[in-house]
Structures are given as C-alpha cells and as structure tokens.
Structure 1
Amino acid sequence: MDEALLRSLTPSVLGILVRRGADFAAAEDAVQDALVEAVRTWPADPPRDPKGWLVTVSWRRFLDTTRAETARRRREEVVDEEPAPVSGVDDTLQLYFLCAHPSLKPSAAVALTLRAVGGLTTRQIAHAYLVPEATMAQRISRAKRTIAGVRFEQLGDVTTVLRVLYLVFNEGYSGDVDLAAEAIRLTRQLAAASDHPEIAGLLALMLLHHARRASRTAADGSLVPLAEQDRQRWDTKAIEEGVEILQAALARDRLGEFQAQAAIAALHADAPTAEETDWVQIVEWYEELVALTGSPVVRLNRAVAVGEADGPRAGLAALAQLDGSLPRHTAVAAYFHERDGDLTTAERLYVEAAGQAANLAESDYLTRQAARLNARLR
C-alpha cells in the first residue's frame, strides 16, 4: 500500500467533493471512508486510476449518507456512474482558500487547513499551538461547522492562505511531516495566478530555506546550526531562483513581512562562510520586520543579529529587554554568555534551555553544548 500516494491524493479528492456540492465535514467523512476501503482493497486489486477511484468511492459514500432524497437524486444526476475525467484545476489550492474563509479566525483557518489539506493529525496541530489535543479537536470541529455549505466561489483572503502555507512548510521542514515540497508547489501555483509581491516573497523565502535542508542535520540525525553547516551542500539553483524572485518582488516597493524574511535568508545564503555574514544588514532587515509585525519572536531574532553584529554584550542587552519566557530566549542567552567568556552561566543556561526545547533534536544539541562547557570547567 502506497501511503504517500494516498496522502498526496486526499486533499484534491476532498476538494472535488466540495466543488460538487458536499459540505466540508460530510466530504471529509466520505473521503476517510474511501481511504479505509482503499487500504483494504488496493493491495489485492490496485486501481488503474487511483484518484478517480477515490473520487468515485468518496462520492458514493457521500450520497449514501445524504438524507434528503431529492438532494440525493439531484447530485446523482451529476455523477452516478464512473466519474468524469478529473479536471486540470488544482482543487487542493482551492481548498486552501476555502479553509481561509473570512468567517474563520486565522488560528482556526490554519488549524483546519493543516488537518484537512496538510494531513497533519490533530495531535500535531495541538502541539504546534501548545494546547491540549481535545481543545484543538473542538476548534477544528467548530471550524468545519462554520464553513458548512460554503462554496468555492466564496473564498478566503490571501494573507491567511500565505500564513497557512508557511506553517505547513515549517511543519514539513522540521521533519515531523514532510510537507515542505507540497507547500512550495502550491505557493508556486498561487504566485503564477497572482502578481502579489508577498506571494513572491513567501515563495522566495521557502526556496531559500529549502536550499539548506540537506545540511541542517548530521548523519546521526543531530541538529547542525547554520554557522556550522556545510555550505557546499546547499542547493545553489534554489538559492539563485529564490534571490531572483525576491529581487523582483522588492522592486515593486510594497514591502511585507515575507519579503523581509526572505531578504534575511538571502543574506545568509549569500555569505561564503558564516564569518562573512553581513550581520549589519540583517539587523536592518529585522528592524523592518519589527516595524511590520511587532512580533516578540522577531525581536528575539533581532537581538541575536545585534549580538553577532556588535558583540555578545550588545546581544545580551537587547535580550534583556525581552520576555524571558520566549522560546529560545534561554538558549540565546547561553550562547552570548559563552561568547562573553562566562562559561559557568552559559553551562547552566544551556541545561535550562535543553529542558525547554521544542523538539528532541534541539534538546540534544543544547545538552551537548552544556556537556562541552562542563568538561571545560572541570
């Protein structure tokens, strides 16, 4: 059974059912029933057209559970036998817009999209939001009810779609769920259909980050920080494409946060070595990002850049102005204390940061840093 194939086809099949008139929740239930049937029957009798098979079975499941017989007969007139050839329209992309419907709060739109289109489990989404799984399940259920009956003609806004795509990309990039390539594919389609500079900015940002993917982890799976990555393993074609797209977007003079983030990523990609990174320019771009977003996380990243540009004490001073509960705050403080020569404080903070890490790879890396300093202090 090709689980990857089923995963890749599911969003498009769901989109087709919604386009045909099924409400979102009923369509998802029907698709899930079809997937169960596929797992049961495909190993012995694989279909020649997997997507067409899923559409047919899902649609029939939907019709079987439709109570109103008049509505059922009307839909059966459209598709009762084998399905019509699947159109070239990317229903997955349309489904992203449906999940970004203006009646939904942004957090609900992201959660719903990650569940229905991105394929993440409710548990994974709950972890991303730092809420209990039951709370996230209720949020997703409410979102489904909210958009019940919404047609593809009543789509959401591009800003929410971009945030959804970026979160999907980041989930894939982390290795938890490999959705990065799908996020890039959909963003390419969105960029081809619109000349919005922020769409181009997001695409550039994804490409520039994705170009470093092969160098982010060692052979044993351990995390490799940016400064220690083998830059020979970076994808130069993806970097060139990302920079070209970014330059065209910036020329429009309509700066947005994704363009600013891409500019920072481009400066990292442009440096032949970590020591040659233009941290002064990066600080300037973070100033732009702070003005655009006011995000505490952006302020933390700016503090890192200040410390690299002006020295560890300047970084610590910038860090002192921020909330100490911010993710990575303790790890950054440990790094700058080590740079400043205070190994005892740095070792203690690395231990604290390891306990606060968001994933095992990060925790392992910080634990190794603490152990390294502990050995030096003996």
Structure 2
Amino acid sequence: MVQSLHSFLDENIQYLKDNGLYNEIDTVEGANGPEITIAGKRYINLSSNNYLGLATNEDLKQVAKDAVDKYGVGAGAVRTINGTLDIHDELEETLAEFKGTEAAVAYQSGFNCNMAAISAVMNKNDAILSDELNHASIIDGCRLSKAKIIRVNHSDMDDLRQKAKEAVESGQYNKVMYITDGVFSMDGDVAKLPEIVEIAEEYGLITYVDDAHGSGVMGKGAGTVKHFGLQDKIDFQIGTLSKAIGVVGGYVAGTQELIDWLKVQSRPFLFSTSLTPESSAAIIAAVRKLMNSTELHDKLWDNANYLKDGLKKLGYDIGDSETPITPVIIGDEKKTQEFSKRLKDEGVYVKSIVFPTVPRGTGRVRNMPTAAHTKEMLDEALAAYEKVGKELGVI
C-alpha cells in the first residue's frame, strides 16, 4: 500500500475508535428476522428495517422461487436495451396503484432513486430547499444535480416559508424544489406535509417526499403522503422496497409525464442492470398483501406502542417519535457504544447510532420493532433495558 494512503487510513480509523465513532459490523448467520444468530448466539433483533416481517415471509419466498424458474436469476441487461421484462412492467403498474399515482419507475435501491430523480430534473440554474435532517442519499442527490442547495431548519415551516419566498422572489432560479423525508429515520418524526403543500402552492415549489420509512408503515401501509391524503399534491413520491416491503430496490411514483422523463434521463435507470426478476415478483406479492389487508401494519403499530410504553415506564428518553422508530437517547458517544454492547451481552441486538449519522452529543440506540415480534420477545428486551439502564446509570 502507498504510504500516504496507509497513513491516512491508520490515523483516521484510530481517531474513530478513540472517539466511539467506529462501527463494528456483525455477520448474521441465517435469516434477518425478529430473532437473529450472531457467532452462534441468539438475540432479540431490534435493529432491522424489516418492519412487517416480509423479508422472511413464506409466500414471498415461494413467489421468488417460481420467478427464478420462469425468468432465471437476472434480467440480463439494462432496462433501455432488453432488460425490461414483463414482470418489471407489472411491478411498476402495481407500485403506481399502491401509491395512488399515474405511473412509477423502479430502481435498484432507494439510494439510487435520489441520485436518479433529483439530478434528472434539477440543474445549476435551479435551487433546492432541503430539510437539514434529510437522509444522506438526498444530500448526495442534491449535490449531484449542481443546483443551489438551501438548508431549511428541521420541520420549521416559518423557515421554509421565508427561504421559499427569498429563493422565488430573487429571480435567480428557473425552478425551486422542496425535499423532505416523509418519516425521519433517526427520530421517527413525520414531515408536516399539509403545511408544506400549502407553502409549495403559494410559491410554486416542486414537492419531493422520500418516504423510505413511511411506505408500509404510514397511511395504513400506503405511506405518509396517503396518510395525509395528498397523492395529487406531491410531485415526487420516493420509496424503498427493502424496508417494510422486505425485498430490495426503490421507486419513484408520480405523473406519467414525470416517469417518462426519468426513464430517458435518469442515469441509474439508463446505466444499471434491472432489478432481478425474483425480487420483482416478491415485491409485487408484498405490495399486494398490503393493498389487500392491514393485518401486518396493525400488528407493527401494536408492537411499537407496546415497546414505547415499556421504555417510557422505565424512564428512558425516547424523543418525540410518531412512528415505530423508537430511539433511546443516551447522549455521549462512548456511553452510547457501551450501552449497546451491554444490551448485546444481555441478548438484545440494537445498534448504537452516533455522529456523523446524528449530531454530536445525541448518540442513541434505535429500536425497530416489527410485526414479526411477539410480546414475549419485547418483554425480554425490556427486561434487558431495565437491567442495563440501572447498571450504567441511564435510568
């Protein structure tokens, strides 16, 4: 290795370790369900985004196996050559129906969606108003577009109104977009979409909602935009297919005109091989489950409320989450790392989240209850929280 590279890596890795910022990666042996096995030990799993338990659903597994028999394991080409299979068309039609839009386009990941959609529409002559707590993929998508990025205080509607007014009335920009997560993944709070739409209509803003943590969770499963009944008011609905849907990929939903444009201009669509056919088939089956029944959605929320109530009774600070995402805020980065390790010792797997994912001094462990957890599993987790919290002086 070149010495300059070695010096850079050695110095900076050690810095992260010394400051409680280095993330150790554990390998899960087998499926990522409500219980997992790591190094031969069983844990209650509270770190997965598999909100509805669909990643291990038997129906979806069979659908995927059948698709492999019919289509093989890969699409064989990018979508614009001959990698668009009939199952991709069915997938996008199903997603559009699910989101209540004219059309949808599927991508290989939710991260790809934000890299694709923002830069396909916005450019150096435009401005993007972006909530300060937006996901990293939104931030990177905004940078790629080369548009002027104007940071907006988190869910601060007065700040949004003022900055929208300044951007529009300056006359400097051809287009102005406002981008927000639907559900914010670190705190579990929900974007104020009705107020956002009101401001957007007043100033002619393009509206863009990344609902990665809202699809399958909010709006009886259809997402945060549907929760507020604003399907006809939001220009871009973005979602992932790897969290509540349980598979992999992402999508953009909107008007037919918008989707037509993305299919000829967005680079991840043009230059990446299509979603695999078995993934597409499993996604279709998962989305249809959500459209046909709220059973999994309702169980998720029941489990989430049960865990939240238990943590609050123990005296933990769980912030102001409005969703199943349940942070336990510790603060100090090193103590947060220690807290997570002690929970692991007690058989509860919940990862620490520290700077730069969250601001310094707001370290937390983030609990992700799912529809697949039993009350017995959650009680076991709460018992561990009580023991470790008292031991470390957190409660």
- Which structure is higher in RCO with an 8 Å CA cutoff and minimum separation 6? 2
TM-score of the superposed pair, with normalisation by structure 1: 0.24
- Which has the larger Rg? 1
Instruction: Point out the structure with the larger helix share.
Output: 1
